[in-house]
Structure 1
Amino acid sequence: MGTHPLTPVSAIRLCVLTSILAVTATACAGRQAADQGGSWQPRQDVRLIIHASAGGASDLMARTAAKVLTDQKIVTRPVLAENREGGSGAVAYTYLLGQAGNPHYIAAFSGTYMSTPASNQADYRYTNYTNYSVVAEDASVLVVSAASPYRKLADLVRAAKDRPDTVRYGGTQTGGADSIVHYLLQQKTGTKLAYVPFDGGSEASAALLGGNVDVISSNPSEIKSLIDAGRIRPLAVSSTARIAGLDIPTFREQDVDLVSTQARGFIGPPRVSAAQRSYWENALTRMTESGQWRDYVRANFLQPSVHIGQNAQRYLDQEWQKYVSLYKELGLRPK
């Protein structure tokens, strides 16, 4: 059977069909490339998981991030904050593991992201996640009640040396930021202070005001109102330099070589693509550069400390080693 030459109309139809197929193939390849390393944008609402209860410092950070990402139009889909508290962060981070490969989930983290697994209280590690960014550091403020006889850090240290285990130090669970400052204070000053654990920071503050403990350490933003009201007296801050707006001397200024901070940042589930990771790293970088975010950092006495992508990974590698070393000394066996 012989072939028939194409009519002009048939030739035009063939060209159109060929073009359509080529465009379709290019579009499909483009979508595949976007998910494998090209550009990517969220296609549905974003869930920002918060490991703490509503109203605390971690909740405020996460909700501020959601607002900045939305207000500045950095993320064009709604960013919905969702609290999943419990287990010193374990509930939230375990939930995030279950969203593997889904870039529409991100989570905020604070010190418990590292401390809970490093103290052998969780089955995950930071290496199981996509670590997008570190955005700030939190220091601790050592405070006594306004009626306390301890006017300066040196007064507290002297009393702890003269009467070992009689100065009562209130804090949260062993392994948390409070217990770390307590341990380092003893280590750096050669003192012994009796540690009294509470379920949370608010209970420790109440115990201090009620005279049931002599000293506590706390997040600056959570006790600033008590300082301003004259109900408690700050003795030292655990940062490397004084924090703007607090004007509290550091431990180092008072000849105690103690620095202790906790990282705050954002992570994603495992197995997100290179394009999806790049999207969130860029978005979070833009967030930290906004005046809205900087105002939040300043108002809450955080220390700007921005590390993105591989720099965040290296930062957290060092944090992990720090916690592992501390917990070995505290008798908490790391995995």
Structure 2
Amino acid sequence: MRRDEFLKTLAALAAAGALPLSARAAPTWKMMIPANPGGGWDTTGRALGKAMIDAKVADNVTYENKGGAAGALGLAQFVNGSKGDPQALMVMGAVMLGGIITGKPPVNLSQATPIARLTSEYNVYVLPANSPFKTMADVVAQLKKDPGSVKWGGGSRGSTEHIAAAMLAREVGVDPARINYVAFRGGGEATAAILGGNVTVGGSGYSEFAEYINTGKMRAIAVTSPQRLKGINVPTLKEQGINVELGNWRGVYGAPGITADQRKALTNAVLAAIKTKSWAEAMEKNAWTPAVLAGAEFDKFVDDEFALLRATMAKAGML
């Protein structure tokens, strides 16, 4: 075989994902982040992109933020614009599942290709520094007195902080349908609303609020974990007599229509990236918990999560 023919064959195999990573040039990847800048998905996507470059499975990673509708707008753009692209990734997670259940968008997550679950994170509830309330007990007392007067700020409708707020209301004897939940398109918007005192209480992953909690601009009053988070002195809801526990996992999907070999190559690239030092540093900095799951196990997990979240939301009066 002539050299030019050999190179053409090699390029074709690489494009199809049929060569091992070591035999291919590291490509440029496209990362869809279906949320505005500044939130958990944004942080996850950019940390993963950096780790992919560090793992030498990517020469470059480009990012596109498309917020709204619990990730459904970004999902639609990803599904319609990335068909068959073996170098396209989309960040997703429990929030997207909840949004699909409540919003019933025209696109479906099953149109894209599952790759891997990466992390899990519990939510923290915070008050603005100048809030007249000091504890979750204060918030609950006001919630019982006048549910509409307590503005809960967080991610899109169906997000884990929305679900947890509805579950909390139900646990303390308040109709979940009466909670005043203010949804934001991304963590940056929610953070600005909390800092500006435009909501009573805000909820999100701890990593999104850590900087403001540490500098005293927000007061952390509860976490949704089963026990206190390591190194973080914030009481759980359960400690405070509210039987609510809810985690928020994040993962990545590939484009629709990629081949089995391309999916395997994409999965291997992601798994190589999360073994890097930069990914370990991101995990520690953001207080993420490792929750790696890939292949058929991840497929089954997503199906089970849809069923579990739908049941939880129905019980909390959200459907």
Structure 2 segments unaligned to the other structure (5+ residues): none
Partner of 1:123: 106
Question: Is 1:195 matched up with 2:180?
Answer: yes
Question: 1:47, 1:105 within 8 Å by CA — same for their partners in 2?
Answer: yes
Q: Does 1:94 align with 2:76?
A: yes
**Higher alpha-carbon deviation: 127-136 or 226-235:** 226-235
Structure 1 CA distance for aligned equivalents of residues 113 and 196 of structure 2: 44
**Which segments of 5 or more consecutive residues in structure 1 lack a partner in the other structure?**
1-19
**2:53 counterpart residue number:** 70
SS at match of 1:55: coil
Moved over 6 A (4+): 27-34
Question: How far apart in 2 are the matches of 1:303 and 1:138?
Answer: 6
What is the CA-CA distance between 1:185 and the residue it aligns to?
A: 0.5
For the 8 Å contact 2:99–2:157, the answer to whether it is kept is no
The question of 1:280 aligning with 2:263 is answered no
Q: Distance in 1 between matches of 2:33 and 2:141?
A: 41
* Deviation by residue 1:222-262 (Cα, 9 ceiling, x = unmatched): 22222122232211111233323422122223332212222
Q: Do the aligned partners of 2:153 and 2:199 also contact (CA within 8 Å) in 1?
A: no
Q: Tell me the distance in 2 between the aligned counterparts of 1:29 and 1:178.
A: 48
2:65 matches 1:83:
yes
Corresponding position of 2:239: 253
Deviates more, 1:203-212 or 1:99-108: 203-212
Alignment RMSD: 3.2
Q: Does the 8 A contact of 1:97 with 1:129 survive in 2?
A: yes
> What is the one-letter code of the residue matched to 2:260?
A
| Structure 1 segment 198-209 matched on structure 2, within 5 A | 198-200=183-185, 201-202=187-188, 204-209=190-195
CA distance in 1, matches of 2:116, 2:267: 7
- 1:318/1:290 CA distance change after superposition, 3 Å: same
- SS for the counterpart of 1:289 is coil
Contact 1:134 1:263 in 2 (8 A): yes
TM-score, length basis structure 1 = 0.78
| TM-score when normalising by structure 2 | 0.82
In structure 2, relative to structure 1, the CA distance for the partners of 1:107 and 1:194 (3 Å cut) is closer
Percent of paired sites with the same residue: 25
Q: CA deviation at 1:158?
A: 3.9
C-alpha change, 1:273 and 1:204, in structure 2 (3 Å) is closer
Give the count of matched residue pairs.
309
- Separation in 1 of the partners of 2:299 and 2:280? 23
Question: 8 Å contact 2:115–2:254 — kept in the other structure?
Answer: yes
Matches within 5 A, 1:52-67: 52-67=35-50
The aligned residue for residue 143 of structure 2 is 160
Residue matched to 1:178: 161
Structure-2 residue corresponding to 1:295: 281
Q: Say if 1:169 and 1:182, in contact at 8 Å, map to a contact too.
A: no
